[in-house]
Structure 1
């Protein structure tokens, strides 16, 4: 687990010639950092006299942002593992018709898994943007720039994950499944865009 090691180690690995960690893992890290900033703003709102009326909602939002942070952290590793399994499938032997069939079947199965992980990242990013939107509305006005930054990191996580999803969908043969996953991705990205625009306006008014 890269999270058990210094940040510099992860960045050096990311910059290396190895295929993992890559864009998917980096997108998940972006999401985790965005969630952490949202949690920070929520915590800086708790216990403040000026925000007594929103304390229960802020507490609920903090629980959600921390849940999302934990999931993004898990997805960092899950993306690496999914790519590893897909890469292994491409390396399977194809000297006989049976081997060719087995290899093709394995590739298609792993393409689905390799698409589902970043798709979940995008959907988590959408959920995080919703939290950031509400925190921007009711959270501590002195630290709105931090929740705005958290939202930008969440948006980046969704956009980066989307590229990974699309890359895997291109090679999938099950077009019905491709359409289903594409629709889920579009919904997540649309929500991210809408929340991002609203957050910009809210922070501009309250800051």
Structure 2
């Protein structure tokens, strides 16, 4: 992915890429910072008890970044899918089903970005508490980037569910969001406590 090219597209008048795609990029930066912090924590004499976990974070970051890169592109496609469904002639019998399916596809991608971003936050918190203390602001930055990605994804899910006609599906998704965000807010609160304890 060429970042300059991506930013040119993002700042243009085109509807894609948009916030959902950009949220995946934000989470990619979070994973990258986690990787750096983990690598610079590995092999440290005082941190050897957590060495295997540092290596795990560093090793998995490459696949996380690759997956988020794919999800950034997939988000663009699913958004376009919604636009295409909305442009189906209102007299077409399958229009409503097409819209509902397109919305579910978009929600699925947003959930994937949010889930991976939550894992990035968990890794950031672990590094905050156990990693190289010289990298603490990088750990905190990573957590906030992932947190931003989650909020963007959740907002996209909520706005899409607003137009979803499948009531059972909508209710189930909103319940999932409630419990998911309770977990997210618990982690970011721990990050904030750590931040406040070390940054004047």
Which residue of structure 2 aligns with residue 200 of structure 1?
A: 192
Pick the aligned partner of 2:83 from 87, 103, 108. Answer: 87
Cα displacement string for residues 47-100 of structure 1 (whole angstroms, at most 9, x for unaligned residues): 222322211121123234443323222210110010111111112234x4xx2x
The answer on whether the counterparts of 1:125 and 1:192 sit within 8 Å (CA) in structure 2 is: no
- Cα 1:158–1:64, aligned 2, differ >3 Å: closer, same or farther? same
**Map 1:124-163 → 2, pairs under 5 A:** 124-163=116-155
> Displacement of 1:31 after TM fit?
0.8
Structure 1 residue 40 corresponds to structure 2 residue 36? yes
Pick the aligned partner of 2:94 from 93, 102, 111. Answer: 102
Cα displacement string for residues 117-169 of structure 1 (whole angstroms, at most 9, x for unaligned residues): 11221122212111111111111001110010000000000011111111110
Which runs of 5 or more structure 2 residues have no equivalent in the other structure? none
**What is the TM-score of this pair, normalised by structure 2?**
0.92
CA-atom RMSD in angstroms:
1.7
Which residue of structure 2 aligns with residue 54 of structure 1?
A: 50
**What is the TM-score of this pair, normalised by structure 1?**
0.89
Provide the rounded CA distance (Å) in 1 between the counterparts of 2:108 and 2:179: 15
- Cα 1:161–1:148, aligned 2, differ >3 Å: closer, same or farther? same
Structure 1 residue 188 corresponds to structure 2 residue 180? yes
- Cα 1:169–1:23, aligned 2, differ >3 Å: closer, same or farther? same
Which residue of structure 2 aligns with residue 9 of structure 1?
A: 5
Number of aligned residue pairs: give it.
199
Deviates more, 1:118-127 or 1:170-179: 118-127
Which residue of structure 1 aligns with residue 73 of structure 2?
A: 77
- Cα 1:66–1:202, aligned 2, differ >3 Å: closer, same or farther? farther
